[in-house]
Amino acid sequence: MSKYPPIYYSDYLQLDNLLNSQKPKSEEYGFRAHEEMLFIIVHQAYELWFKQILHEVDSINQMFTDDVVDEKSIGIAVSRLGRVTEIQKLLIEQLRVLETMTPLDFLEFRDFLIPASGFQSFQFRLIENKLGLSDEKRIQYNNVDYLNTLEEPHRKLIMETVKQPSLFELVQKWLERTPFLNSAGFNFWQSYKQAVDRMLEQDRNIILENNTLTEKKREFQLKQLELTRENYESLFDETKYNVLLKEGKRHLSNRSMLAAIFINLYRDEPILHLPFMLLNRLVEIDELFTTWRYRHALMVHRMIGSKIGTGGSSGHQYLMSTVDKHRIFIDLFNLSTYLIPRSELPKLPEELKKELGFSFRSLATN
């Protein structure tokens, strides 16, 4: 017998409140639009999932606020970020349910919603801010600050997040503290640069010796190769890198970018496996939100064509403009630019390999 008092399933889940929270506006005007119930439930489900995402992201941000992050926290963070990605997949699939409603079905109640809009989802704005979408990167809504579309209590909640470090900023600081980048007697980046030079020279020879290329195509490929070389060189020249930061072409600091590259290159070393998984989860989150934005924009285009949205935005055009511009961890996507084949990786000194592995000494017993 349980030591706790019994509880009823419906009471625990507050089902009376939950199931009575659907109030179709069409009914208030003496006209029952059948599809409006679906519209409300899908969006309420979104907000519930947004609440869970915030619950996970808040816990992860808390783990990374200290100057030293407990190694156990990395595994927990990877797990919780994995949960976020699974929720995101559900969010994308929910659009398929919404699309069972036709454009004509939507028109039956659309005018009742004005000026309410999904743009006013304060929880989604909280998610964006807590992950690291900066005001500088955010596309304005009808040339108006997004905060002006929200009521005062929700504006205050969002302004609080601006004062707190985002997951992007916290991960950047965590990466900047990564050891192993330089060890006594071994300069990894010097060895890495030599390997890159060999790889690029090999690529140059392949282009020059390819008889199937026209002169125009050969010239184009050589120019692209030179751009790749410049990308690599910016890693080793902090002044050049900081110029790219100022221009908005890079977002992670130079040291954190180097650390992320090192983690990706030596991901097979035991101690770097979880950090690699963490970075990979962040890429997945960015990718899935980008996918969701794109699918959402397509659905809106399908539903309202080129009409303005209920909130007064340009509808489909505005949503499509956010697809690429609102990516947060794009520098982590670009890490692939700087990878080299495993066979070309600089060989790590034995002492460093021991530090990167899980080793222990057995104690002799008498």
pLDDT digits 0-9 by tens, 65-77? 988 888 889 999 9
User: Do residues 199 and 343 touch, judged by C-beta distance below 8 A?
Assistant: no
Whole-number Å distance between alpha carbons of 227 and 220: 11
Confidence of residue 331 (pLDDT cuts 50, 70, 90): very high
Q: What share of the chain is helix, strand, coil (3-state, %, to 5)?
A: 65, 0, 30
Q: Is residue 208 part of a domain?
A: yes
Give the mean pLDDT of the chain.
89
* pLDDT band at 270; cut points 50, 70, 90: confident
Of 221, 169, 175, 116, which is closest to residue 328 (Cα–Cα)? 169
- Could you tell me where the beta strands, DSSP code E, fall in the chain? 182-183, 186-187
When mean pLDDT is compared across 23-27, 81-85, 134-138, the lowest value belongs to 134-138
Tell me, what's the pLDDT at 253? 95
Q: How far is CA 319 from the centre of its chain?
A: 17
Structural domain boundaries enclosing 150? 24-356
Percentage of the residues of the chain whose pLDDT score is greater than 70: 92
Identify the weakest region by mean pLDDT among 131-140, 305-314, 317-326: 305-314
Q: Is the pLDDT of residue 105 over 90?
A: yes
Domains held by the chain: number = 1
* Residue 366 pLDDT exceeds 50: no
Confidence at residue 56, expressed as pLDDT on a 0 to 100 scale: 98
Residue 96 has pLDDT above 90, yes or no: yes
Residue-wise pLDDT for 230-242, tens only, equals 888 999 899 999 9
Give pLDDT, residue 364. Answer: 42
In 3D space, the residue among 145, 140, 111, 128 whose CA is nearest the CA of residue 314 turns out to be: 140
**Class of residue 115 by CB neighbours under 10 A (exposed 0-12, middle 13-18, buried 19+):** exposed
Q: Is residue 363 part of a domain?
A: no
Look up residue 131 and give its two tokens.
Answer: 């992950």
Take residue 204 and report the two structure tokens written for it. 């140059």
Report pLDDT for 145: 79
Res. 226: pLDDT tops 70: yes
Stretch 206-227: mean pLDDT, rounded?
Answer: 94
The confidence band for 121, taking pLDDT boundaries of 50, 70 and 90, is: very high
Is 19 within a domain?
no
Evaluated on CA atoms 125, 62, 329, 164, the torsion sign reads positive
Answer yes or no: is pLDDT of 313 > 60.
no
What CATH number is associated with residue 295?
1.20.58.480
- Residue range 295-304, pLDDT digits in tens: 999 999 888 8
Provide the pLDDT confidence category of residue 140 given band limits of 50, 70 and 90.
confident
Q: For residue 71, is it within any domain? A: yes
Bigger pLDDT: 116 vs 186: 116
pLDDT class for 184, splitting at 50, 70, 90? low
What does the pLDDT read at residue 133?
Answer: 93
Q: Is residue 17 part of a domain?
A: no
pLDDT at 343: 85
Residue 69 lies in a domain: yes
Confidence of residue 361 (pLDDT cuts 50, 70, 90): very low
What is the rounded CA–CA span in Å between residue 80 and residue 279? 13
pLDDT of residue 178: 82
Residue 11 lies in a domain: no
Residue 132 clears pLDDT 90, i.e. is over it: yes
In a domain, 14, yes or no: no
Residue 179 predicted with pLDDT over 90:
no
In this predicted structure, the answer to whether residue 363 has a pLDDT above a threshold of 50 is no
- The model's pLDDT over 344-358, given as tens digits with 9 standing for 90+, comes to 888 887 777 777 775
3-class secondary-structure state, position 167: helix
The confidence band for 335, taking pLDDT boundaries of 50, 70 and 90, is: very high
Is the pLDDT score of 188 beyond 50?
yes
So what's the pLDDT on residue 360? 42
